[in-house]
Structure 1
Amino acid sequence: MRILFLVQGEGRGHLTQALSLAQLVETAGHEVIGALVGVTHNRPTPTFFSEQFPAPITPLPSPGLVYHTRTNALQPSKTTWKALLNARTYRRSIRQIRDVIESQKPDLVVNFYELLGGLTYGFYRPSVPMICVAHQYLAFHPQFQFPAGQYMDRLLFKLTSRFTAWGAREMLALSFDQQPDVPGSRLRVVPPLLRQEVLDRKPASGDFFLAYTTQPGLVAELVRAHRQHPAIPLRVFHSGTQATEERIDETLTYHAINGQRFLDAMQGCRAVVTTAGFESVCEAFYMGKPVLMIPQPNHFEQACNALDGERAGVGLGANTFDLNPLLDFIPRYSTETSEQFRAWYAQGYYLFLAAMNRAIQSKSTNSSQHPEVLSAAGSGS
């Protein structure tokens, strides 16, 4: 089976998931022939992905999120406006995706939440089957819990997710725990995708807290939290420094974002403090580390992640980088939930391969059919 990846390049989550699935499919004897990665002018393809991905990578201009420079709050209106201003550029990217699919003729396309991938299938309807992989698709599960209120945010979030999966044979929803599939909505619940580097590590007990954020402006909040608890060693990985280790005081150090060093630190930390990005939370959960999840302001998706993480026993959601709730939670953290998570993760190899085989087999039986975008107010609303 020859597989082409489409990957949203915002943050590190979807890129890391693509690396993990590439490892999985190559272990099963299949071939990843390339990746089309959505990038913005200020967020090129990260080095960790380009160095580890096993096939050629083609960056494509793609819509990205816009954050307030001072508050780090997500700005949905400016995100939409910027996308509209660059619509002509994105149309060229869509045509490029179509041309690559037609010229390389893969057996399957796997889309990691790249909006332009869904639009390509909606407008051009390639004959190659596509499946979509992202934790965001869990929003269409009838048992999914949303933050109270915020109806418009919920509607826009689900509408965007539908468009990323326009034309997909199935949506594979990455979940902290096992839940029933919803075949009528093309929804299958699968375990998270974790890199082999995570699976190979044996967690140890440490005395320091590990923090991670891709938004440099949030570091100021971490510093305030550190000043309230100066005796607790805090290691902060963030995009605002290029230093391997920058000592700020006796118990505070900054580190440039690096996948291997971050996992080294997570392996021996006491707890993790981070924004509510799905991938980092899953890595901590696998290693049995309690997590304080702080959604970025106005970031509805991360608010959903924090609520779902609390439900699954990962840790606590919070509005600020306040270490006091985490210190109270640590004695109550159940290692049994982490063991259940690892057992759930172990089922992923077979579930992902089964989904890819279903998509390939459906090509002949459904060649005259093309799934359309379902109502954004459908299941899980």
Structure 2
Amino acid sequence: MKIFYGVQGTGNGHITRARVMAKELYAQGFDVTFQFSGRPADKYFDMEVFNGYQLKEGLTFNTEKGQVNYLKTALQARPIRFIRDINTLDLKGYDLVISDFEPVTAWAAKKQKVPVLGIGHQYAFNHKIPKTGSDPIADQVMKYFAPADQGIGLHWHHFGQPILPPIIETPEFPKSIVNNKIIVYLPFEDQSEVIKNLCPFENFEFHIYAPQPVESRYPHILCKPLSRDGFQKDLYDSAGIISNAGFELASESLQLGKKILAKPLHAQMEQISNAAALEQLGYGHTMFNMDVAVIENWLHNRHAVHITYPNVAKIIVQWIKDGMPQMDMKFTEAVWDSVDVLQIKRHADI
């Protein structure tokens, strides 16, 4: 089978998920072409697994001080270029298009009548799951941004719906952690403001990853450029993570048993809903603004959750190989039966 796979590159979570899917697709012998859109070409990193890939400008959201700015998003959009990218993407000879919320691929496939399979967290919002912060714009974005003939939604819990667990790497659980080591990934925030809110906590060591790291004058705050390998090594033996409420990073953190403090992007329904789900499930804590008091309480909170998820990428790839039969509740329940949730109490407060 020949597959064209489109990935929304605005956030690293979509690319992380695609890396896992790529390994499984190649292992099964599929002929796959990857296309990414949503960020400048020089901002992609650690892309070797894709065996070469295409880039399109696509559509992206403008964020400013931790909030989606819909006016700037509209002003920066280049509709003529977007339509041209759709019209010039030739999908002749492909049996299936997979879209991880990537609009150029999804709309080109729709136009050329090639079957589109949507895989991603966003497609879970087609079902009855925790959803808050919605508005007419957000609803239209979810519906029309990257339409699919069939969507496989992913979430941390099934909520009684035919959705699947996250697609993530399944590393070995850390044998030991550094109790005062905290990873910080707030790429849409003012990094100087992040440092200002963390500097009082000198008994903790903060590793801040950002697209454009700023200089830190505090020995307990280390600012680092984005690196997939570097980030994973730091996350592996850390005690917890402070991040926006993106789906993929929270999924990896739960798999590794890290405590989570999530700050959702304002005016971004998906992230606000993710924050609500973390709180509802008891999987993490949230703050809606940078708040020193909330950060302090969370730093000294000993509770974390370790969730063992199966290799969902392998399950989906096998399902595609089997001809994509109906993915009903019976199918998804069998997958969720292998998920194990463990409550963790870390060592005493620092």
Q: What TM-score, normalized by structure 1, do the two folds share?
A: 0.77
| Residues 1:212 and 2:185 are matched in the alignment | yes
Structure 1 or 2: larger helix share? 1
Q: 2 CA distance for matches of 1:11 and 1:325?
A: 28
Mapped contact 2:41–2:55 kept (Cα < 8 A): no
Check conservation: 1:136, 1:161, Cα contact below 8 A.
Answer: yes
Q: How does 1:315-334 map to 2 (within 5 A)?
A: 315-321=284-290, 322=292, 323-328=295-300, 330-333=301-304
Q: Tell me how far apart the structure 1 counterparts of residues 313 and 159 of structure 2 sit (CA, whole Å).
A: 13
For the Cα contact (< 8 Å) 1:5–1:34, is it kept in 2? yes
Contact residue 190 and residue 351 of structure 1 kept, 8 A: no
| Partner residue, 2:198 | 226
Task: Summarize the Cα distance change of 1:346–1:5 in structure 2 as closer, same or farther, 3 Å threshold.
Answer: closer
Kindly provide the amino acid, as one letter, of the partner of residue 177 in structure 1.
H
Task: Please name the residue that 1:177 is paired with.
Answer: 157
Aligned-partner Cα distance in 1 for 2:87–2:185: 36
**Number of residues of Structure 1 aligned to a counterpart in Structure 2:** 322
Match of 2:209 in 1: 237
Counterpart residue identity of residue 171, structure 1 = G
Amino acid at match of 2:10: E
**CA shift in 2, pair 1:120/1:295, >3 Å:** same
Deviation at 1:296, TM superposition (A): 2.2
Matches within 5 A, 1:69-218: 71-83=65-77, 86-97=78-89, 99=90, 101-102=91-92, 105-122=93-110, 124-126=111-113, 128-142=114-128, 144-147=129-132, 150-152=133-135, 155-166=136-147, 168-181=148-161, 188-195=162-169, 199-200=171-172, 202=174, 204-206=176-178, 207-215=180-188, 217-218=189-190
How big is each residue's C-alpha offset from its partner over 1:127-168, in whole Å with a ceiling of 9 and x where there is no partner?
x322001101221212x1222xx442xx332322222443x3
TM-superposition CA deviations, 1:249-273 (whole Å, max 9, x none): 2211111110111111111111111
- Letter paired with 1:81: L
The alignment partner of 1:273 has SS state of strand
Q: 1:209 to 1:305 in 2, by over 3 A?
A: same
What is the CA-CA distance between 1:347 and the residue it aligns to?
5.0
Question: Residues of 2 paired with 1:109 and 1:121: CA distance?
Answer: 7
TM-score of the pair, normalised by structure 2: 0.83
The one-letter amino acid of 1:37's match is F
User: Offset at 1:13?
Assistant: 1.1
Structure 2: gaps of 5 or more residues: 327-350
Letter of the 2:210 partner, please give it.
Answer: H
Structure 1 alignment gaps of length 5 or more: 182-187, 363-381
Counting aligned pairs with the same residue, the percent is 17
Give the Cα separation in 2 of the matches to 1:15 and 1:92.
Answer: 24
Q: Distance in 1 between matches of 2:31 and 2:58?
A: 22
Task: Please provide the CA RMSD for this pair.
Answer: 2.4
CA contact (8 A) 1:117 1:164 kept: no
Whole-angstrom CA distance in 2 between matches of 1:32 and 1:203:
38
User: Does the residue aligned with 1:228 lie in a helix, a strand or coil?
Assistant: coil
Shift of 1:297: 2.7
How far did 1:193 drift? 1.5
- Equivalent residue of 1:222, what SS? helix
**Aligned match of 1:58:** 54
- Look up the SS of the partner of 1:240 in the other structure: coil
